[in-house]
Structure 1
């Protein structure tokens, strides 16, 4: 429900602003405001959950998200949408933290891998479904009302549960500098994932609208579906391959695929037949949306088990930093006379630079031996607390902002 709500909200926000004549730079600013809210919420939510518990915190953030979703109907000013997007990001970050935390505590150890995989698939399906639901709406404000209704529906199972609330805890993440020292390729790949994927995720309706398709709303839904489907299809094969060879080579391969597909979309998106267009979008999703999980897996190969959760929280912060910069940078490139196709010129350049970096790292430092690797696990960018659910870690964590003992073999 939450993923469908957010996906539908992202689509209607971008289309409403574009219809109101907002510039590409303004649209990028609004996207960056959402990411800023996500980051702020990720830092605040664990404290609130500890204070009032998971159920009350979830209800608090959900009620706030509903109010904000309805508030979008009151104005089409860029400044108003920017402020509201900060609150949207903040509320959804809190919702994910409360929901992820509940799942983390409730999952039996022997079922963690299966639950992580199922959770990943459900989230993707929710994100795919949201824009298609929007297709059936008619009124200008219906998209915002739909998002509010879906968020309200998400409260129902939480409010009706009779299960006891889990205990709360807080993990101090690695600092970004320590992540970079530990695994530079993973840090750069995570930052690129935030900078590129958040820009595309927030601004793709603008790109699609610029293709002059007779039904841009329908094409936007198809674009989003193909993007996420490509990611779902590629993730497991890429992960299993990376268990057998240097993960950086697989990240580089995915980056190259993403870069090539991005440049095709930038240069030929308006002339490709629909089938070919959807295929290239799926190819882009396979390359660009899959490498974050490999970055986490690569960093995990170099992290002690008792430090795993803190490492994953730290790498998510790096992703968040990229996600704040990305939409604004993407909007700026689109405003340089390139128009909507500038979004994928930006994405292609970002993916190409990441590819060059991670492949260069594979040449100057040794790969982690296969026998020393942990199994690949799909990793989400929803909240810091979901890192605790990862089967590669355990429950004992420490304050790891200190760089002590970080002088291991770096790659």
Structure 2
């Protein structure tokens, strides 16, 4: 596949992430200005991820039936309609429906683009493709935060978000690439997978709370403290910078000391940051730079958690076994965490005011740290490659994971996987006792 064709896909996801990120980050701004309660804001923001869950079930069939380009145009148009419809309705229940539509369209659009990446790539290039994907994700997300700092009206934010997503349809609509086929999905038992790799799914679930909880309710938290939109943008951007710059260090750390110890360390940093954030609300109220330092620490510790969870799953499963469907299960768990996050944060912020936001992170991170500390590490010789990937991607990203090769890997087998995990962790426990 030509580089120019790859660039068109990267261009599409840049506009897509920018538009969706702008809407997601600013969703609480208008609602806060309307005087809506924190619990209601959390419920409405959860609509994004309800739509994303529906997309994982339905969009696959739509794309297979009408084709990639037509599907992309339809999903993009529907996103724009739902975004602009916010300007015409004031009923909160309708806003919840529209947010579910936005989430459905966003993840469906990602599925279209990612299926092209998968079909036009080979195992030798997928690591590079996925790395560039992550760079585009962080740049576009940072762009959406920067746009939020322009202090635009809510109407202009909704309009600009719609424009950006419509712009995402242009490179795909003009492409001359042959439409790929979406591979059939294998049925897999979600509870069975989660029982095999408990630390992996707990880390991925917590990652959904850390990341999407921060970006759905962080703006509400800062507005309640009395900060302006530019300062809200600075707060959100600090977390984004932390998550982006820490990836290489986390990769080195987890490869050297193992995933459980790295997850434990990250969880401890997040717990300390959250507790410090609550203290700074008392000691330095109104100091934006103090809050930005806390956001940076949360970004550094919470944002790599999804990649660590995936790495843990790939560590304990057989090296020659295809784990695409396992990775999809973990992405689904990440989505559940993203769904729960605004509900939990909204409730805690309603009950405990400003302290509720950081208290959720302190409690969740502390629980994760305790559990991770009790888990054994896999020997270095049996560890998989760490792949820095965000959970805010579509389900087809699992096909791009360079740790899998459909041509040489054996299909996922639950019984073999369970036995291998038991033996691997048992040996790790024995080695730890001997040391």
Q: TM-score range by the shorter chain?
A: over 0.9
Q: Which moved more, 1:230-239 or 1:297-306?
A: 297-306
Aligned to 2:156: 142
Summarize the Cα distance change of 1:321–1:140 in structure 2 as closer, same or farther, 3 Å threshold.
closer
Tell me by how many angstroms 1:171 deviates.
2.8
Structure 1 contact 306–394 (Cα < 8 Å) conserved: no
Query: 2:95 aligns to what SS in structure 1?
Result: helix
> Which of 232, 242, 245 is the aligned partner of 2:257?
245
Aligned to 2:179: 165
Tell me by how many angstroms 1:76 deviates.
3.5
Aligned to 1:368: 378
Structure 1 unmatched runs, 5+:
none
1:42-79, Cα deviation, whole Å (9 max, x unpaired)? 22222222222222221111111010010111133321
Tell me by how many angstroms 1:150 deviates.
0.2
Aligned to 1:318: 333
Tell me by how many angstroms 1:135 deviates.
3.2
CA–CA distance in structure 1, aligned partners of residues 91 and 412 of structure 2: 43
1:322-380, Cα deviation, whole Å (9 max, x unpaired)? 222221111111111x1133122112211111111111223xxxx21111112111123
Alignment of 1:6-85 (within 5 A): 6-85=20-99
Aligned to 1:340: 354
Tell me by how many angstroms 1:142 deviates.
0.2
Query: 2:180 aligns to what SS in structure 1?
Result: coil
> Which of 374, 389, 397 is the aligned partner of 1:386?
397
Tell me by how many angstroms 1:277 deviates.
2.6
> What is the aligned residue count?
404
CA–CA distance in structure 2, aligned partners of residues 64 and 321 of structure 1: 24
Structure 2 unmatched runs, 5+:
1-14, 426-435
Query: 2:386 aligns to what SS in structure 1?
Result: coil
Structure 1 contact 267–341 (Cα < 8 Å) conserved: no
Alignment of 1:6-405 (within 5 A): 6-136=20-150, 138-172=152-186, 174-213=188-227, 215=228, 217-269=229-281, 271=285, 273-304=287-318, 305-336=320-351, 338-362=352-376, 367-381=377-391, 382-395=393-406
TM-score, normalised to structure 2's length?
0.88
CA–CA distance in structure 1, aligned partners of residues 410 and 343 of structure 2: 35
Q: Which moved more, 1:262-271 or 1:14-23?
A: 262-271
Tell me by how many angstroms 1:241 deviates.
1.7
CA–CA distance in structure 1, aligned partners of residues 221 and 324 of structure 2: 37
Tell me by how many angstroms 1:401 deviates.
9.2
CA–CA distance in structure 1, aligned partners of residues 141 and 189 of structure 2: 30
> Which of 392, 407, 410 is the aligned partner of 2:419?
407
